[in-house]
Amino acid sequence: MVSRVIPVDPFDLVVFGGTGDLARRKIIPALFRRYCSGQVVEGTQVIAAARTDLDTEGYRNVAAASIREFSAGRACEDGTLERFLQMLAYVKLDATGEEGWSALADLIRQDRTRAFYLSVGPSLFAPIAARIRSHGLVNAGTRIVVEKPFGHDLESAKALNATLAEHFHETQIYRIDHYLGKETVQNLMAVRFGNVLFEPLWNAQFVDHIQITVAETVGVGLRGEYYDRAGAMRDMMQNHLMQLLCLIAMEPPARFEPDAVRDEKLKVIRALDAVEPHHIVRGQYDATSDSPGYREAVGHPRSTTESYIALKTHVSNWRWSGTPFYLRTGKRLVARSSVINVVFKDAPHSIFGADAGGAANILSIRLQPNEGITMHVTIKEPGQGGMRLIDVPLDMSFAEALGPEGQDPPDAYERLIMDVIRGNQTLFMRGDEVEAAWAWTDPIIRGWQARGEVPKPYEALSKGPIDADQLMRRDKREWRGIKP
């Protein structure tokens, strides 16, 4: 099954922070892969901008090395890399001063979509936005792309939104949450709203509870300083898990259009209950013989920042009244696994008797790795005599079901950057969504700070703190295992 690639018209993309980690690991390789696929066409111009003393030739060498490292294994015709590199230019530029801005303005052409990707720390958003404006680079075809974190709390998020709004209309602002670019995340909407099977059951009457797990095996790595100021709540829960929850819980929008979808997501965030203190579990990973524990990794021996959080919340609306949503995310867990489990209620009456066995239906949506969907259904255990029931998975791995396309779906950044160029904001967060998410998050964080709570230690490469199991068991429920 081969999907049709629709080329986009040539565009200009300026990558501020073109020498940084994100640009080298994700943005440039994503553009290269879209070039290989035929979606990015000749005539496109990608201008990297940063302070490092490089010229265009030097930057092309940097880009070539990044592509070789991070796009390895992609089939591309001979000579494609060389042709792609010809589309790249470099401008030495200081975001906080005037150096380089005229040179940048001279390179940008009038007759096409232009996008500015702010792949820099958030403190540079305001000076860059102001200079894009003051150098006359904003026109109707201008788009600006910003990366998380979108603020540290509601106040800073409002300030950031206000800064961007001074220079750009909301329809020009693309806030990237790369989780929304993942194939399966979009499939969530296709599964829910493209099939009649699920939607009639997608409510409190039939769903017992929903579990969302985003587990990582890695620790904080080189991001220790940033991470210790953020923690799992701000770094993951407030954005990625919140977005997944929205897609699971939202009402069907009338049309698959940016504001129709985002309006429905916003309603979900606004309907979220405040979280009770005893419905929150925070943890910090321990050291192993060959890797540091959390506090050592962030260089802060008394840190009270969490590397793990689990919580229970409710969406207080007609559809979900009384259905708990359990969310957990953490670092140094037993496997890298992002999965949503929709756990349905037991059959109202067993005609086979209480001892026959069987289990509730569960729809598992795997976001990574091995993207796919599993429906757990009850069948008769094979054998003679009696009627014993067992739970079997009906498994669809996209890699198997969709052939080569499923095995190698475009990276989230490939899809999201192309959406920026096409002007489709459906998979990007709107300013009011971000603010609503902080309005829910802030009191939770303020609460544990006021109570002086310290995260519980948990064993590295385990499933997280034991207390998180208790969070479920108190409700007579269990987390599904974290599996690779």
Residues designated catalytic: 240
Which residue in 50, 63, 207, 412 binds ligand NAP (CB under 6 A)? 50
The residue among 24 and 295 lying less far from ligand NAP, judged by its C-beta, is: 24
Interface characters, 193-232, with ligand NAP (x: CB under 6 A): ----------------------------------------
The residue among 105 and 287 lying less far from ligand NAP, judged by its C-beta, is: 105
Q: Which residue in the shown chain puts its C-beta closest to ligand NAP?
A: 20
Which residue in 12, 113, 132, 147 binds ligand NAP (CB under 6 A)? 147
* Binding status of residue 161 toward ligand NAP by CB under 6 A: no
Taking the complex as a whole, the smallest distance from the CB of residue 125 to ligand NAP amounts, in Å, to 8
The residue among 150 and 285 lying less far from ligand NAP, judged by its C-beta, is: 150
In 3-state terms, the chain is what percent helix, strand and coil (to 5)? 40, 20, 40
Stretch of residues binding ligand NAP (CB under 6 A), selected from 17-25, 239-247, 373-381, 391-399:
17-25
Rounded to whole angstroms, the Cα distance separating 330 from 460 reads 10
Taking the complex as a whole, the smallest distance from the CB of residue 238 to ligand NAP amounts, in Å, to 14
Helices (H), ranges, 108-218: 125-134, 154-167, 183-194
Stretch of residues binding ligand NAP (CB under 6 A), selected from 12-20, 232-240, 255-263, 369-377:
12-20
Rounded to whole angstroms, the Cα distance separating 141 from 169 reads 11
* Binding status of residue 20 toward ligand NAP by CB under 6 A: yes
Q: DSSP string covering 415-475, please? A: HHHHHHHHT--TTSB-HHHHHHHHHHHHHHHHHHHHTT--PEEE-TTBSS-HHHHHHHHTT
* Binding status of residue 152 toward ligand NAP by CB under 6 A: no
The residue among 16 and 294 lying less far from ligand NAP, judged by its C-beta, is: 16
Taking the complex as a whole, the smallest distance from the CB of residue 169 to ligand NAP amounts, in Å, to 22
One-letter amino acid identity for 218? V
The residue among 134 and 407 lying less far from ligand NAP, judged by its C-beta, is: 134
Is residue 88 helix, strand or coil?
A: strand
Rounded to whole angstroms, the Cα distance separating 39 from 446 reads 46
Interface characters, 120-139, with ligand NAP (x: CB under 6 A): xxx-x---------------
Sign of the torsion angle spanned by Cα atoms 163, 156, 327, 203: negative
Rounded to whole angstroms, the Cα distance separating 11 from 5 reads 17
Tell me the number of residues near ligand NAP by CB under 6 A.
23
Please give the angle made by the CA atoms of 185, 435 and 141, to the nearest 5 degrees: 70
Which residue in 44, 66, 113, 119 binds ligand NAP (CB under 6 A)? 119
Q: 346: which residues sit within 8 A by CB, 6+ positions away?
A: 208, 360
Which residue, among 372, 369, 375, has the nearest Cα to 393 in the 3D structure? 375
Taking the complex as a whole, the smallest distance from the CB of residue 410 to ligand NAP amounts, in Å, to 17
221 Rama class: left (phi>0) / alpha (psi -120 to 50) / beta: left
Is residue 42 helix, strand or coil?
A: coil
Which residue in 22, 89, 230, 268 binds ligand NAP (CB under 6 A)? 22
Which residue in 7, 9, 21, 474 binds ligand NAP (CB under 6 A)? 21
Rounded to whole angstroms, the Cα distance separating 393 from 221 reads 36
Taking the complex as a whole, the smallest distance from the CB of residue 281 to ligand NAP amounts, in Å, to 25
Stretch of residues binding ligand NAP (CB under 6 A), selected from 142-150, 213-221, 264-272, 357-365:
142-150
Interface characters, 80-99, with ligand NAP (x: CB under 6 A): -------------xxxx---
One-letter amino acid identity for 181? G
Which residue in 3, 52, 321, 449 binds ligand NAP (CB under 6 A)? 52
Would you give the distance in Å from CA 408 to the centre of its chain?
A: 18
Rounded to whole angstroms, the Cα distance separating 394 from 378 reads 10
One-letter amino acid identity for 234? R
Taking the complex as a whole, the smallest distance from the CB of residue 40 to ligand NAP amounts, in Å, to 21
The residues binding ligand NAP (CB under 6 A) are: 16-23, 50-52, 93-96, 119-122, 124, 147-149
